[in-house]
Structure 1
Amino acid sequence: MMESQALDFPKIDAVLRANGTGEVTINGTSHAIQAEDEAAVLSQALRLITETAAQLGRPVRASTTDPDGQGLIVVSPDGIVSEAAPAKPSARRQQDPAPAIPAPAQQAPAVATPAAKETPAPVAPGVKETLEPAAPVTFSEAVNRVQEPSTAAAAPEPVTRRSLKETSFLVSAPVLEPATRGWRGTLTRLGFRMEPSPDELAEREDIRTVSQHWPGPRTVAVVNRKGGANKTPTVVMLSAILARYSGAATVAWDNNESQGTLGWRTEQGSHDNSVLDLIDSSQTLLSPSTNAAEIARFVHHQTSDKFDVLRSDENEEGDHEVTAEEVDIAHQVLTRYYRLIVMDSGNTARSANWRRMIHHTNQLVVPVTAIEDRAEAARLTLQTLESRGGHAAELARNAVVIVSESTDAKRSMSGDALKRAKDEAGRIANGFAPHVRAVVRIPYDPALVNGPIRYDALQPATQRAWLAAAAAVAKGF
């Protein structure tokens, strides 16, 4: 009833920011808000909207925008808040038959863009796609409300004898937790139980995907024959997210045929051992009497991101190239101590260690920056694997391509240049989409450009994009 009385006039837009500021715009008049936290900003915003409803003597609609997305609420003159129900199609549209759409011969995978609003986010399993609006309540009711027994109880059905095997008291449907983020989350904490937004549901589903355990070890190979394609940051980010959420023992292995850079972008332990030292000690490490803690002598633990790094040989002479047999030995050792191996690689798809890495790979990841020569190198890498047939071709078809925006110094770029950079990333992502299982875009983040890479140093939008990328990879396990 309250929602049916709410009109589109006046036009009210409310913005809630994570830094404790906000803004309520009523028919073009802006009211800036600054407070200690999100809850205080929301309280002031609701006060302004409620005063407007009281002046009009009827409920009003307000569009909400926060870091989690957009929504629509209805506020009454008494301060009662409810979530507006989705718009229903007109009767004429309901009567029109749906046009027949011929199925395409092959459906291209969608390009995952976690920050985009135009693409509907996936809905968690067991959750209806159209959520019922939360029941309107006041602040006092939200705090003091007591569940009343129903007065209109249905007449009990006659009891018939059934087998105990056909009876279960377990609830099979998952309970949907209320919103925790943005306007919806703040309203939930104030006592207005709100359903999570589609964006929050999508994030929960990605977290569930990367948190799963799978039978047996899995090996991920990160490949692109062109240097500067973001291979090493991709290895670090995937390792960090999968280790953090799944809790699985994870190692990032620099499988460069000579000297790689993974050790330069990660923490170093109390030793300088590399893959060659691990290979030399393989018999001891594979002995049944050796305990799991001994692997720490050869890998470098990442204290905040919870994964280990197996560095490539850093011999100053650089006179050793890893062989296919050495890859087999190192892989055998690592699969005894780890459930997940993420392999960095060199730029030579013809080298023996590169080809042997592909033999052990379960999921292929092809990173590329939004520069045409990196994209072309990625295409040729996939083409090479596809032409080899068998397992290599299957990896290419089920690959995950991760397109990162250019790592150029963006602070000096104009608005037009930034738009061109984003457009180029979109063009490259769309170009790969028909040929692989998934494509994910990653926004530019200065924390990925230089120095050690740590997940906590990334901007929230970048963390969200990498979570989507890790979920796409984990679906291939």
Structure 2
Amino acid sequence: MGTAPTEVLAFPNIRAIVRDNRTAEVIIAGNSRVVPAGQSLQDLRNNALALVLGEARTLQRPVRVRIEDPEGHGELIVHPDHKIESVSYQPRPARRRTETPETTPEKAAPTATDPTPAREPGPVSTAPGAVCFAPATVDTQARPGPASSAEPAPRRPLREAGSFLAAPGTVEPATQGIRGMLNTMGLSLAPSADELSEREDIRLASKHFAGTRTIAVVNQKGGSNKTPTVADLAAVFGRNGGSVVAWDNNPTTGTLGWRTEQGDHTRSALDVIAAADALLSPTARSADINAFVHHQSTDKYDVLRSDSDVDGTHEVTAEEVDILHRVVSKYYRLILMDSGNNHRSAEWNRMIDHADQLVVPTTNEEDRVEAALLTLQGLDLKSERSARLAANAVVIVSERQKGEVRLSQETADKFRPYVRDVVVVPFDPALKSGQIRFGALRPATRRAWLRSAAAVARGL
């Protein structure tokens, strides 16, 4: 038989504390033990529980542990065999309001004829060693009484009736943080505000639009992070929705092909132009495009490379950009266009003509920031359509190196009054050089790119 929670000794006194600043400690009988660092708060939680588990094994019995976490506090019982039971859990008051369903009936105030006060919500034991959290129930069953003398409701036309199946949407229980961990033990806690925000960003990044959408990534200055921006946005959209192509619309050899996987061929945009009639014919099949693009195996998008012939002389014309756009529009739902630095060239300006959404990347370096501003100002003056693109643009500020959090926010604040949205992406060594693989990025970086993709999707 198992040990009931009430039988577990409260000695030694154990506390596990996880802080917002990504530090944690486990205090056992007044002695603090530093918890090994992790890449996320969940890593810290797991590492803290591992220390508590070690104490339970040493004592060869279950132990109690008080948990203090950015999302709430409570008490767990940790067994030497890895079993973990929840005794109590209280979310942070500041976030509790967002977790209470709007449909929860309000408790009736005590009256003179009913002096028993309404019971407060609290933990309700469903079995030895198991706890579920639920608000106290209120009996809303109508009691027998005299028939109502009220007039019957007036008749209304049937066409005015709404669906009887309409119901409020449900929210899946938390899967992240301490709430997600407790839910694996049989509870059903609502997700935190951070998890709800992430779910909404995923929903936006997964959205399928009616018709093809084109995103132009532009900055007149080289080294402004255009290629990593294209690759990471394409990865977010590809992983969540599919049918995405990253097109290197560069007059010379672009770097998108260098920083992504190469297929079993060397074909580029020039080969697509040459085969355009066949690819656009009614008999063309969806898989025919695979002979010309380079698939990214883990990030689930394709790359259309620019010409990499070192002795090539062909310059893509505006009309050829139109042909390429017709082809990729037939085979993909979402097109992300990398670009060169010459905003006066034909292919650059025709790219703007096809764009539905503008993304302007920059680092914190002063000349890149200024070039981003000049790019937006030039489009604002070019035409009414490009001015709308500039005003609706998303600026993505990527930290060039560690320790630039404050500078990044200052840079972002400069653009906020002039564009629709600004997102800051933290420094990540995995983006400095080599092939760009989304899964190799740090969790905070992946979250920032998801946030960026959601911001872009809102404009589509």
Secondary structure of 1:265's counterpart equals coil
In structure 2, relative to structure 1, the CA distance for the partners of 1:168 and 1:150 (3 Å cut) is farther
Query: Which residue matches 1:24?
Result: 26
Structure number with larger C-alpha Rg = 2
In structure 2, relative to structure 1, the CA distance for the partners of 1:403 and 1:222 (3 Å cut) is same
Shift of 1:355: 0.3
- Kept after mapping to 1: 8 A contact 2:357/2:392: yes
String of CA shifts for 1:382-409, please: whole Å, max 9, x gaps. 01000112111100000000000014xx
In structure 2, relative to structure 1, the CA distance for the partners of 1:79 and 1:173 (3 Å cut) is closer
String of CA shifts for 1:393-452, please: whole Å, max 9, x gaps. 100000000000014xx5xxxxxxx2xx22221111100111000000000011111111
Alpha-carbon distance in 2 for matches of 1:45, 1:211: 40
Query: Which residue matches 1:456?
Result: 439
In structure 2, relative to structure 1, the CA distance for the partners of 1:462 and 1:40 (3 Å cut) is closer
Query: Which residue matches 1:443?
Result: 426
Shift of 1:138: 5.3
In structure 2, relative to structure 1, the CA distance for the partners of 1:27 and 1:377 (3 Å cut) is farther
Query: Which residue matches 2:207?
Result: 212
Alpha-carbon distance in 2 for matches of 1:43, 1:195: 25
1:404 equivalent to 2:398? Answer yes
Secondary structure of 1:213's counterpart equals coil
- Bigger Cα displacement from structure 2, 25-34 vs 255-264: 25-34
Shift of 1:73: 2.1
In structure 2, relative to structure 1, the CA distance for the partners of 1:406 and 1:284 (3 Å cut) is same
Shift of 1:170: 2.7
In structure 2, relative to structure 1, the CA distance for the partners of 1:184 and 1:227 (3 Å cut) is same
Shift of 1:24: 3.2
Alignment of 1:228-239 (within 5 A): 228-239=223-234
Query: Which residue matches 1:186?
Result: 181
Secondary structure of 1:234's counterpart equals helix
- Kept after mapping to 2: 8 A contact 1:127/1:176: no
- Kept after mapping to 1: 8 A contact 2:14/2:26: no
Query: Which residue matches 2:93?
Result: 86
Secondary structure of 1:301's counterpart equals strand
What TM-score, normalized by structure 1, do the two folds share? 0.74
Query: Which residue matches 1:6?
Result: none
Query: Which residue matches 1:14?
Result: 17
Root mean square deviation, CA, Å? 3.9
Instruction: Specify the code of the residue in structure 2 equivalent to 1:193.
Output: S
Alignment of 1:4-403 (within 5 A): 14-15=17-18, 23-25=25-27, 30-32=32-34, 41-42=48-49, 63-64=68-69, 70-75=70-75, 80-84=87-91, 86=93, 135-137=122-124, 140=127, 143=130, 152=139, 154-155=141-142, 166=161, 168-247=163-242, 249-403=243-397
Instruction: Specify the code of the residue in structure 2 equivalent to 1:370.
Output: N
% identical equivalent positions: 49
String of CA shifts for 1:97-149, please: whole Å, max 9, x gaps. xxxxxxxxxxxxxxxxxxxxxxx9xx89x976x9x9984245945758799x9
- Kept after mapping to 1: 8 A contact 2:250/2:306: yes
Shift of 1:310: 0.4
Shift of 1:257: 1.4
- Bigger Cα displacement from structure 2, 23-32 vs 285-294: 23-32
Instruction: Specify the code of the residue in structure 1 equivalent to 2:226.
Output: K
Alpha-carbon distance in 2 for matches of 1:270, 1:189: 44
Shift of 1:167: 6.6
Secondary structure of 1:308's counterpart equals strand
Shift of 1:192: 3.0
What 5-or-longer segments of structure 1 have no aligned partner? 1-9, 49-59, 65-69, 88-119, 411-417
Shift of 1:250: 0.7
Instruction: Specify the code of the residue in structure 1 equivalent to 2:18.
Output: V
- Kept after mapping to 2: 8 A contact 1:386/1:394: yes
- Kept after mapping to 2: 8 A contact 1:259/1:318: no
Instruction: Specify the code of the residue in structure 1 equivalent to 2:412.
Output: A
Alpha-carbon distance in 2 for matches of 1:269, 1:388: 38
Shift of 1:46: 11
Alpha-carbon distance in 1 for matches of 2:330, 2:143: 59
Alpha-carbon distance in 2 for matches of 1:143, 1:84: 18
Secondary structure of 1:136's counterpart equals strand
- Kept after mapping to 2: 8 A contact 1:403/1:439: yes
Secondary structure of 2:416's counterpart equals helix
In structure 2, relative to structure 1, the CA distance for the partners of 1:33 and 1:256 (3 Å cut) is closer
What 5-or-longer segments of structure 2 have no aligned partner? 1-12, 37-42, 56-64, 78-84, 107-119
- Bigger Cα displacement from structure 2, 78-87 vs 170-179: 78-87
- Kept after mapping to 2: 8 A contact 1:323/1:353: yes
- The alignment of Structure 1 onto Structure 2 pairs a total of residues equal to 401
Alpha-carbon distance in 2 for matches of 1:311, 1:127: 50
Instruction: Specify the code of the residue in structure 2 equivalent to 1:296.
Output: N
- Kept after mapping to 2: 8 A contact 1:386/1:396: yes
- Kept after mapping to 1: 8 A contact 2:86/2:130: no
Alignment of 1:405-444 (within 5 A): 405-407=399-401, 410=402, 418=403, 421-444=404-427
- Kept after mapping to 2: 8 A contact 1:82/1:137: no
In structure 2, relative to structure 1, the CA distance for the partners of 1:79 and 1:47 (3 Å cut) is farther
- Kept after mapping to 2: 8 A contact 1:42/1:186: no
- Kept after mapping to 2: 8 A contact 1:23/1:45: no
Alpha-carbon distance in 2 for matches of 1:263, 1:134: 58
Alpha-carbon distance in 1 for matches of 2:87, 2:423: 41
